[in-house]
Amino acid sequence: MANKNVSVWTSIPFWRRSAAWVTGFAVMLLIWLSFDTLGQISMGTDADLKNGVTKRVPGATVINYHIDYKFNAKRGSEVPVIGEKQKFFGRDDYSEEEAGALLHLGKLTSQSKNCMNCHTLLGNGAYFAPDLTKSWLDPAWQNGGPLQGMTGKTTVEEAMAEFLQHPSQYPTHARMMPDLGITADEAKGLVAFLKHMSSIDTNGFPRNFSKTVETFKAGGTHAR
């Protein structure tokens, strides 16, 4: 009786139970992953920054610090490195509330001016204009870089803010940025938003950022 020839593969209940198991497991897994993601993307605090606790998304007061981007051999990708205090528009003592408000203004401005219509932010948006995920770290905006040079400013944040307020005055690409009527306050918020964004650990996205930096330093360009 037990060795009778039966075809399990043509048995409807077998497939029904298998499908129910796979679907049920996938649903449970996705719910678990959703909660796991919440932990990964939750923003750190000022205390985390002061105590050296690494978070994927650092607290808003990260704008008080110098941000670098270094290849991590263990991770196999580039990771943001939060360094010493660095002045941001002449200050390095923004409170959590002030920094948070600045970032919030920057986020709202980036949405109302529809930056993503041309740029990419954290993987979302368009590739018509440069990716802004790590734009704060772009050497073109640093001391001696051509973008900072053209604005006549001496810091990254002032140069970026000046450009954002009068983008059509400055030669950048063949595809020039239009004047969006960004005010001085909005520009400050946007730069804070971009500085914070550059400190987010994105698992190395965008890929090869440092390689493009090396190309740039060697005199080449990826802008077409």
Partner 1 sequence: MLIEPMTDVVPSFFAMLNQGPLTLTIFLHTVIILPMFWIYKQEKKRLQEEQ
Which residues lie near partner 1 (CB under 8 A)? 1-4, 6-8, 11, 13-14, 17-18, 21-22, 25, 29, 33, 36, 39-40, 54-56, 74-75, 79, 201
H-state helical runs in the chain: 12-41, 46-50, 96-112, 146-151, 156-165, 184-198, 209-217
Of the pair 73, 218, the CB lying nearest partner 1 is at: 73
Closest CA to 136 of 124, 150, 118, 122: 122
Of the pair 7, 154, the CB lying nearest partner 1 is at: 7
CB of 55 to partner 1, least distance (A): 7
Of the pair 33, 47, the CB lying nearest partner 1 is at: 33
Q: Hey, is 14 helix, strand or coil?
A: helix
CB of 97 to partner 1, least distance (A): 25
Q: Which residues of 19-40 are buried (b: 16+ CB within 10 A; e: fewer)?
A: eeeeeeeeeeeeeeeeeeeeee
Of the pair 4, 224, the CB lying nearest partner 1 is at: 4
H-state helical runs in 54-128: 96-112
Of the pair 76, 219, the CB lying nearest partner 1 is at: 76
State how far the alpha carbon of 154 is from the alpha carbons of 24, 28, 66, in Å: 58, 53, 16
CB of 118 to partner 1, least distance (A): 30
CB of 135 to partner 1, least distance (A): 22
CB of 32 to partner 1, least distance (A): 8
Which pair of tokens denotes residue 186? 């909005």
Of the pair 60, 177, the CB lying nearest partner 1 is at: 60
CB of 42 to partner 1, least distance (A): 9
- The span from the CA of 79 to the CA of 122, in Å, is 14
- The span from the CA of 44 to the CA of 99, in Å, is 13
